[in-house]
Structure 1
Amino acid sequence: MRCPLPVIELARRIADVPAGGVVRVLADDPAARVDIPAWCRMRHHDFAGSPDVGVYDVRRNAEAPA
């Protein structure tokens, strides 16, 4: 997916994940490397890392709005 689609899809899917659960985002757009951690900071979720190129893990924070 090209940005902003990965962030838009992440925002949709995070609501379906229980607190503490992880959403794995796959994106081939280099901008996702910056956009996804920035979205996590703005929405108060935890950026859990990038275990591989184009793979981004986001942990839902119980205190954060979906």
Structure 2
Amino acid sequence: MRFRGRARSGVSHGPPAAPPAEPAGPLPALVIDALGRKCPIPIIMLADRIREVPVGEVIAVLADDAAARTDVPAWCRMKSQDFVREETLPQGGWGFHIRRTY
């Protein structure tokens, strides 16, 4: 095969590499590690520490008790806090992101 211009080297000229993955949302101002704790401890830890972050900031709760998947969003509705998202953790469990509203 013949190329015009400079000779091709052994370097691949495929599509550019993808940029590093962006976080799915704002980074949390505080992370509460409740891994290994059973219900209702993750909620108690969240309720006790949410006042440590300024209004408008995000707090993350890491939990591996399946009950937290329903408890955390329900607590947010009951306490008028914004449930931002849930993510699956690579080591197992979930990360719940909550924005403090008041």
| TM-score of Structure 1 vs Structure 2, range by shorter chain | 0.7 to 0.9
Aligned equivalent of 2:95: 55
Greater radius of gyration (CA): 2
Q: Which amino acid aligns with 2:52?
A: D
Report the RMSD for the aligned CA atoms in angstroms: 0.9
Per-residue CA deviation, residues 28-63 of structure 1 (Å, 9 max, x unaligned), is 10000000000000000000111224110111013x
1:4 to 2:40 alignment:
yes
Provide TM-score, normalisation by structure 1: 0.87
Whole-Å separation in 1 of the counterparts to 2:87 and 2:62: 11
For CA contacts below 8 A with separation 6 or more, give which structure has more relative contact order.
1
| 4+ residue runs over 2 A deviation | none
Count of matched residue positions in the alignment of Structure 1 and Structure 2: 62
User: What residue identity is the alignment partner of 2:85?
Assistant: G
Is 1:17 the counterpart of 2:48? The answer is: no
Amino acid of the structure 1 residue aligned with 2:41: L
Give the share of equivalent positions with the same residue, in percent: 50
Q: Please give the alpha-carbon distance, in whole angstroms, between the structure 1 residues aligned to 2:38 and 2:56.
A: 27
Unaligned regions of 5+ residues in structure 1, if any? none
Number of the residue aligned with 2:69: 33
